[in-house]
Amino acid sequence: MTPVYFIFLPLIFALFVPLLFKKLPQLHTGWFVLAAPVILAIYYASFIPASMHGETVISSFSWIPSLDIAISSYLDGLSLLFSLLITGIGALVVLYSIFYLDKNREQLHNFYVYLLMFMSAMLGVVQSDHLISLYFFWELTSISSFLLIGYWYTRDRSRFGAMKSMLITVFGGLMMLGGFILLYVMGGTYSIRELIVLAPELAVHDFFLWSLILILLGAFTKSAQFPFYIWLPDAMEAPTPVSAYLHSATMVKAGLYLVARFTPIFAVSSVWVWLVTGIGLLTMTWASFFALRQRDLKGILAFSTVSQLGLIMSLLGVAAVAFHVEDAAGTVFKYASFAAIFHLINHATFKGSLFMVTGIIDHETGTRDIRKLGGLMSVMPISFTLAVIGSLSMAGLPPFNGFLSKEMFFSAMLSLTEFDVFSFDTWGILFPVIAWIGSVFTFIYSFYFVFNTFAGDYKPDLLPKRANEAPIGMLISPAVLAALVVILFFIPNLLAEWFIKPAVIAIQPFLYESPEQVDIHVAAWHGWYSTELYMTLGVYLVGGLMYWQLHKWQKIYNVFSDTYSLNGLYDAMIYFSDAGMNRLSRLYMTGFIRSYLVYMFGFLVLITLGTLAITDAFALDFTGTSPIRAYEVIIGLVLVAGTITILMAKSRLTAIIALGAVGYTVALFFVIFRAPDLALTQLVIETISVALFLLAFYHLPQLSRHEERMPFRIGNALIAAGVGVTMALVAFSAHSQKSIESISEYYKETVYSEAAGGNIVNVILVDYRGFDTLFEITVLGIAAIAIISMIRLRLTRKENPHEK
């Protein structure tokens, strides 16, 4: 089976989850779900040897052939790395959730269906070579994450966080779709690989800059970059397994993947370099500063995640500078894409572990409020150890993997000052300075998270429940990730050979033809004469001093008002848009059907007549039409007179007679036009209708002469006349501009020879349009069943008047 079909394996598992949850309530559904990411992780791991040699695997199937839309799987070093993260971390998250979520109290079938849906969506995002299928899976991640964030839908904060994430990420997704469409217009293909080849031609197109900006909006919203990061802290209302999976290892990395994948196309633009690098660094520093304002452990991790995503984003921006430097493979720019991928892997390990530890603390103490925690080191020693490993790696201390990628981050930022491109030789000095400031606050919030939780005084009176160490099952997943944090520090070059170098050539294909040419060796020590070393030591010194005095200067956050913030701006926009739309809707939602008909018919007239006028589409040609005879004119006038009589009648009997006259006149037209079967049908229907009206005559509303009459309204009259004139003009124009021969000729030629019928109308209804007739009969059948059910229900209630 080709890789493209494995994208949908989690969805196939999801089909059976509700059945198992219902039929096997004694079994935790997670044990069945766990098989999906494990199978996928093993399957994708089998492609590692091929990826190490620069080989790619391509498979696809046509989805909508007429629109050239296909579902594809393009496994190169970059997509394979993300696929392994999605499935590997996914397996650990599912294992963790088995012990975290109570099968007796949680709706696990919903949780795991949403989780599997998200897993398939992420695999589709990172493997798609087709722009439209990438967008399809991109929005599927937004929908599934909305469902996961709002899993505890009875909580107001969960619903609010889910809606906020949906609005922001879907907005970005729509912008991204616009960028994709512009790329297709420029390149004439939906294939990302083919667009990369066409990059030099695309760069000079008028739509190039617009496409770049729109695609970056999609990436920035999904990866929570400034100013769109505000949805991520509110998404922490989701269960901790969701936070560990979506908001540390997978979904928030989708924007990073998008930037990495499209770097070979857009890196030729200085706008791409400045936006990706600048927004990334701003996000890193901004979020690291405000992480220390948080009191909720998941809130701290949310802002730290935003900060780390900004760090990786800035590295991808620096990697794009290599497109503009001669012999870039021999400069420090080659480290930028390497460092971005390296830190992406490192972040998934230490942040996933920290989220799970936070879930353990919440599960075992009943709170995540850091002001109520402290002294848990002796009560939860294993959790403390795991938290220390993850936090110190995030802070950039050895011997943890975060130290290595943080050093490479400083190297990449320092490299910007060495080259005269895009004014980096002057303004570029700001980048390492901002990076250093952001790293200082990263150091502080890392220590703030772990030591304010586990060190200090134990406060059992403030805890909702007695604290205990987590059961072993809940510790396995964070322990595995924490072990990787340490192991990867000692084997970074093995990791580079297996995963990082194949991913680098996907980001910088112009520099390398195969992973073997990526001559980067990772080492923990670069000597005493290294600027990066002194930057790191400065981070430790300043960060340590500031953490020591945190209680004194942390009060500065009281200056920042929630009202005048990005969150406050979002809330105000939602409030005013909601209130404004309510006021606007009250203007036209009058509750009268007549008003709604006026709106609909009015717009119909304006749009249709406007289109006919602007496009000069109206034509009038009566060539070949039958002559209109005098008696047909008389019958038409009778039809009009009968219709007007119905509207003006002041007597019920007059209205019924006029209605019958209209129906019988229409039947007469069918007779004249030689359609006896239609005439017979019309006569039967009209006879039955008139008879039913007469039977219900007593219950019909009175049309008294003394009843207040609806006044004549010139506006309504104009709308009515306009609709009539519009439809007449459309009919005349359609008849006069036939671009192809009428299908009626085909019917006349084949009704007897092909359908073996003598009545053309019957053959059309039964054979040519048989499905239409079938569905019409089905609708009538459903309506009949509904009527019978309502009658039987009414009879039952009459027989049992006390039955509720």
Query: Residue 699 — pLDDT band, cuts 50, 70, 90?
Result: confident
Tokens of residue 704, six digits: 């008294």
Q: Are 425 and 471 in the same domain?
A: yes
Which amino acid type is present at position 560?
F
The candidate with the shortest Cα–Cα distance to 145, out of 156, 158, 132, is 158
Q: Which helix (H) or strand (E) is 544 found in, with range? A: helix 531-548
Q: What percent of the chain has pLDDT over 90?
A: 56
Tokens of residue 690, six digits: 């008139």
Judged against a pLDDT cut of 80, whether residue 802 lies above it is answered with no
The candidate with the shortest Cα–Cα distance to 262, out of 308, 224, 220, 306, is 220
Flag whether 504 is in a domain: yes
Of 683, 711, 739, the last residue of a domain is 739
Of 548, 583, 609, the last residue of a domain is 548
Tokens of residue 293, six digits: 């304002």
Residue 23's CB: how many other CB atoms inside 10 A? 9
Tokens of residue 84, six digits: 């392994």
Residue 682's CB: how many other CB atoms inside 10 A? 20
Q: Are 336 and 475 in the same domain?
A: yes
Of 712, 739, 766, the last residue of a domain is 739
Query: Residue 162 — pLDDT band, cuts 50, 70, 90?
Result: very high
Q: Are 598 and 723 in the same domain?
A: yes
Please tell me the total count of domains within the chain.
3
Q: Are 521 and 597 in the same domain?
A: no
Flag whether 474 is in a domain: yes
pLDDT of residue 21: 87
Lowest mean pLDDT: which of 186-195, 205-214, 768-777? 768-777
Taking only the tens place, the pLDDT of each residue in 454-485 is: 998 999 899 999 899 999 999 999 999 999 99
Residue corresponding to tokens 């895009």: 422
Residue with the larger pLDDT of the pair 170 and 415: 170
Residue 60 near residue 130 (C-beta atoms within 8 A): yes
Cα-Cα end-to-end distance for the chain: 56
pLDDT of residue 706: 44
What are phi and psi for residue 191, nearest 5 degrees? Answer: -75, 125
Tokens of residue 636, six digits: 């038409």
Flag whether 637 is in a domain: yes
Tokens of residue 593, six digits: 């059907």
Taking only the tens place, the pLDDT of each residue in 224-280 is: 999 999 999 999 999 999 999 988 778 899 999 999 999 999 998 989 999 999 999
Predicted model pTM: 0.80
Taking only the tens place, the pLDDT of each residue in 18-53 is: 998 888 888 889 999 999 999 999 999 999 999 998
pLDDT of residue 1: 67
Q: Are 379 and 494 in the same domain?
A: yes
Distance CA 224, CA 231 (A): 7
Flag whether 440 is in a domain: yes
Residue 91 near residue 41 (C-beta atoms within 8 A): yes
pLDDT of residue 348: 95
Helix 35-45 to helix 108-127 angle, to the nearest 10 degrees? 20
The overall average pLDDT reported for the chain is 89
Flag whether 237 is in a domain: no
Helices (H) and strands (E) in the chain, counts: 36, 2
* Range 229-254 burial, b when 16+ CB lie within 10 A, else e: bbbbbbbbbbbbbbbbbbbbbbbbbb
Q: Are 409 and 389 in the same domain?
A: yes
* Range 191-207 burial, b when 16+ CB lie within 10 A, else e: bbeebbebbeebbebee
Q: Are 518 and 472 in the same domain?
A: yes
Residue 643 domain boundaries: 593-739
Q: For residue 61, what are the β-bridge partners?
A: 71
Q: Are 762 and 788 in the same domain?
A: yes
Tokens of residue 362, six digits: 């919440």
Query: Residue 707 — pLDDT band, cuts 50, 70, 90?
Result: very low
Alpha carbon separation from 639 to 294, 652, 663 (Å, rounded): 76, 19, 9
The candidate with the shortest Cα–Cα distance to 385, out of 458, 475, 490, is 475
Q: Are 771 and 699 in the same domain?
A: no
Q: Are 771 and 715 in the same domain?
A: no
Residue 423's CB: how many other CB atoms inside 10 A? 10
Distance CA 611, CA 726 (A): 11
Flag whether 218 is in a domain: no
Residue 474 near residue 96 (C-beta atoms within 8 A): yes
Flag whether 67 is in a domain: no
Q: Are 459 and 541 in the same domain?
A: yes
The candidate with the shortest Cα–Cα distance to 283, out of 314, 241, 237, 261, is 314
Distance CA 600, CA 597 (A): 5
Q: Are 760 and 687 in the same domain?
A: no
Flag whether 464 is in a domain: yes
Judged against a pLDDT cut of 50, whether residue 723 lies above it is answered with yes
pLDDT of residue 351: 95
Residue 775 exposure: Cα atoms within 13 Å on the Cβ side: 3
pLDDT of residue 703: 67
